[in-house]
């Protein structure tokens, strides 16, 4: 992998109106910042007849995060909000809309007076390194191509393309982006000559992750509807350059060759099945006639036509990926679940261990598929953002578990637990406390009871579990592709530092 060169960028320091100085005027021209809608900001930058929309956000907070970053006293960059440098309007139900960016401009005093909408013009105390020239006709502002006083910076890095992402139809990951600065916009340029302007949150995310919808995927994981009109024509094109716009002007990564494969569907439907040995079918009717299909799931699975066959498959979620060996089309995915009515664990001595007749592998698979645990009457989701009540490796009941700041176990010493696990049709119920615990297996049709070892909350054993090690547990499917979009930021009105640029 090539060495990545990072670039320090100048940042604005002070927001708000600043009195003019001799440095902020050039004859009859004055400098300031304006709230520029995305469509106007990108109009002179792109070869694309479809304007760039504002960004709607269903979340209640991320769109508000437009504080700008700055260099700290310790010389380290302090990042701003996820939507740094943008301006917005709040809509109903706490949602919002990002309208555009606040960026430096150059305008004549006469034209400034003619503007019917000053667009929150805020004077700068110094002439900025980079700015948008403004002309006025019939009281309306037009914004020209960005003036970069120091010339375009050439970035050293690399770009990868994915058409399997949760955040749109395409995602690019760029290494070697401008560092220690706010990013106001990104322009994706193609070999075919059409350019695409990217926006905060929906398109631009942290660390060089940029994603967009091209008319196939309708919504991203947070429920926001993707605005794809500007990007529909990107399908089938090849990315050659990615340009970042900062307060210092253009920073461009050139020499790329990222093909955007044609997309025909966001997913395919796969039927569910039983674990062990068997097969399931998937709907391949949407595949184009010239699609050269190759299907993959995981070890032990084979795909022929529209049939997925398997041997000794554990319960759980799986992902089928169907790729085009010709490379013309994007791969497509479908998820499915293999289930069982067996419960391969039992409660013993403070933990879940392999049930009689079940293997260590079976028990390990159950533990890592636990999706929720109900303690008493309260249900807690498992996983990265949930509460860890049962250790997914050892099976130990974590009596010190917390959900946020709340203790899951209140100290009463006796609790009923109900465990849900993906791929297991029946829940597993048991009690822990000073008396003998009663273990009850519940399901659609049958209920069984068995004796379990007693345990006390204060003295739960911590000895090593006898379940299989992590490496012994089979995979239960393929994880989906990446997350997706914003690392930008912005400054409202301030002193802009010059920086040395690379040729």
Same domain, 185 and 322: no
Which of 297, 320, 339 lies at the terminal end of a domain, its last residue?
Answer: 339
Model confidence at 25, pLDDT cuts 50, 70, 90, reads low
Model confidence at 24, pLDDT cuts 50, 70, 90, reads low
Burial 217-250 (b: 16+ CB within 10 A, else e): beebeeebebbbebbebbbebebbbbbbbbbbbb
**Among 385, 387, 382, CA closest to 401:** 387
Would 361 be classed as within a structural domain?
yes
pTM for this entry: 0.78
Would 266 be classed as within a structural domain?
no
Distance CA 255, CA 154 (A): 11
Would 267 be classed as within a structural domain?
no
Does the pLDDT of residue 438 top 70, yes or no?
no
Supply the DSSP symbol for 50.
S
Distance linking the first and last C-alpha atoms of the chain:
23
Q: Which of 256-260, 395-399, 499-503 has the lowest mean pLDDT?
A: 499-503
Does the pLDDT of residue 145 top 80, yes or no?
yes
**Among 137, 149, 151, CA closest to 107:** 137
Same domain, 367 and 432: yes
% of the chain at pLDDT higher than 90: 66
Which of 339, 365, 395 lies at the terminal end of a domain, its last residue?
Answer: 339
Distance CA 5, CA 330 (A): 31
Model confidence at 308, pLDDT cuts 50, 70, 90, reads very high
Same domain, 362 and 253: no
Contact between 355 and 344 under an 8 Å Cβ cutoff? The reply is yes
Would 94 be classed as within a structural domain?
yes
Domain count, the chain: 3
Same domain, 403 and 497: no
Question: Under DSSP, is residue 420 helix (H, G, I), strand (E, B) or coil?
Answer: strand
Domain that holds residue 31: 1-260+477-503
Same domain, 177 and 296: no
Can you give the pLDDT at residue 490? 34
Which of 314, 339, 364 lies at the terminal end of a domain, its last residue?
Answer: 339
Would 183 be classed as within a structural domain?
yes
Does the pLDDT of residue 79 top 70, yes or no?
yes
| Helix H or strand E encompassing 112 | helix 109-114
Q: Which of 37-41, 119-123, 483-487 has the lowest mean pLDDT?
A: 483-487
Q: What is the rounded average pLDDT of the residues 173-197? A: 95
Token pair recorded at residue 452? 């379990």
Same domain, 315 and 454: no
Can you give the pLDDT at residue 377? 92
Would 268 be classed as within a structural domain?
no
Average pLDDT score over the chain: 83
Would 176 be classed as within a structural domain?
yes
Same domain, 291 and 373: no
167 vs 494, more confident = 167
Does the pLDDT of residue 277 top 70, yes or no?
yes
Contact between 206 and 179 under an 8 Å Cβ cutoff? The reply is no
At residue 111, φ and ψ (nearest 5 deg) are -65, -35
295 vs 436, more confident = 295
Token pair recorded at residue 199? 């926006």
Can you give the pLDDT at residue 461? 36
Q: What is the rounded average pLDDT of the residues 322-339? A: 98
Can you give the pLDDT at residue 250? 97
Distance CA 339, CA 425 (A): 7
Can you give the pLDDT at residue 503? 44
Same domain, 104 and 188: yes
Would 265 be classed as within a structural domain?
no
Same domain, 254 and 156: yes
Q: What is the rounded average pLDDT of the residues 342-352? A: 96
Q: What is the rounded average pLDDT of the residues 331-342? A: 98
Same domain, 454 and 364: yes
Does the pLDDT of residue 3 top 60, yes or no?
no
Q: What is the rounded average pLDDT of the residues 192-204? A: 95
Q: Which of 33-42, 88-97, 258-267, 287-296 has the lowest mean pLDDT?
A: 88-97
Q: What is the rounded average pLDDT of the residues 71-90? A: 82
Does the pLDDT of residue 108 top 80, yes or no?
yes
Model confidence at 90, pLDDT cuts 50, 70, 90, reads confident
Residue 454's Cβ-count burial label (10 Å; 0-12, 13-18, 19+) is middle
Can you give the pLDDT at residue 67? 67
Same domain, 206 and 294: no
Note the pLDDT tens digit of each residue in 359-390. Answer: 999 999 999 999 999 999 999 999 888 999 99
Model confidence at 61, pLDDT cuts 50, 70, 90, reads low
Q: What is the rounded average pLDDT of the residues 159-169? A: 96
Same domain, 441 and 488: no
Question: Which of the listed ranges 23-27, 76-80, 264-268 does the model predict with the highest average pLDDT?
Answer: 264-268
């Amino acid at each position: 992998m090539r060495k990545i060169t990072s670039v320090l960028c100048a940042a604005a320091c002070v927001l708000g109106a600043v009195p003019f100085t001799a440095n902020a005027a050039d004859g009859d021209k004055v400098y300031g910042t304006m709230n520029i809608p995305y469509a106007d900001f990108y109009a002179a930058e792109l070869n694309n007849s479809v304007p760039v929309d504002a960004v709607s956000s269903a979340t209640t907070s991320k769109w508000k995060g437009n504080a700008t970053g700055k260099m700290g006293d310790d010389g380290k960059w302090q990042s701003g909000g996820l939507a740094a440098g943008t301006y917005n309007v709040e809509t109903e139900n706490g949602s919002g809309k990002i309208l555009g960016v606040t960026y430096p401009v150059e305008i004549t005093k006469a034209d400034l007076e003619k503007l019917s909408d000053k667009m929150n013009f805020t004077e700068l105390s110094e002439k900025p390194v980079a700015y948008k020239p403004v002309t006025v006709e019939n009281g309306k502002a037009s914004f020209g191509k960005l003036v970069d006083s120091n010339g375009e910076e050439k970035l050293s890095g690399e770009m990868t393309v994915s058409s399997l992402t949760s955040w749109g139809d395409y995602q690019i990951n760029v290494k070697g982006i401008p560092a220690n600065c706010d990013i106001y916009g990104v322009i994706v340029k193609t070999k075919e000559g059409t350019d695409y302007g990217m926006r905060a949150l929906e398109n631009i995310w942290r660390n060089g992750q940029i994603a967009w919808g091209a008319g196939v995927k309708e919504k991203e994981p947070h429920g926001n509807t993707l605005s794809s009109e500007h990007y529909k024509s990107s399908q089938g094109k090849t990315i050659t350059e990615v340009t970042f716009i900062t307060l210092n002007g253009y920073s461009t990564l050139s020499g790329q060759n990222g093909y955007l494969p044609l997309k025909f569907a966001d997913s395919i439907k796969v039927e569910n099945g039983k674990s062990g040995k068997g097969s399931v079918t998937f709907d391949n009717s949407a595949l184009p006639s010239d699609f050269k299909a190759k299907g993959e799931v995981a070890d032990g699975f084979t795909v022929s036509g529209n049939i997925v066959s398997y041997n000794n498959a554990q319960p759980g979620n799986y992902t089928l990926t169907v790729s085009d060996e010709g490379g013309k089309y994007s791969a497509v995915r479908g998820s499915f679940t293999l289930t069982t009515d067996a419960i391969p664990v039992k409660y013993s001595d403070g933990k879940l261990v392999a049930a009689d007749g079940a293997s260590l592998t079976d028990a390990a698979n159950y533990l890592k598929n636990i999706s929720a645990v109900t303690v008493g009457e309260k249900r807690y989701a498992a996983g990265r953002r949930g509460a860890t009540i049962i250790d997914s490796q050892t099976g130990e009941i974590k009596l010190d578990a917390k959900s946020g700041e709340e203790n899951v176990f209140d100290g009463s010493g006796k609790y009923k637990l109900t465990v849900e696990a993906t791929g297991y049709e029946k829940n597993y119920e048991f009690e822990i406390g000073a008396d003998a615990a009663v273990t009850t297996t519940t399901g659609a049709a049958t209920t069984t009871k068995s004796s379990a070892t007693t345990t006390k909350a204060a003295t739960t054993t911590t000895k090593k579990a006898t379940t299989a090690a992590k490496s012994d547990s089979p995979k239960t499917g393929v994880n989906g592709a990446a997350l997706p979009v914003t690392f930008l930021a912005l400054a409202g009105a301030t002193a802009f530092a010059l920086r040395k640029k690379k040729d």
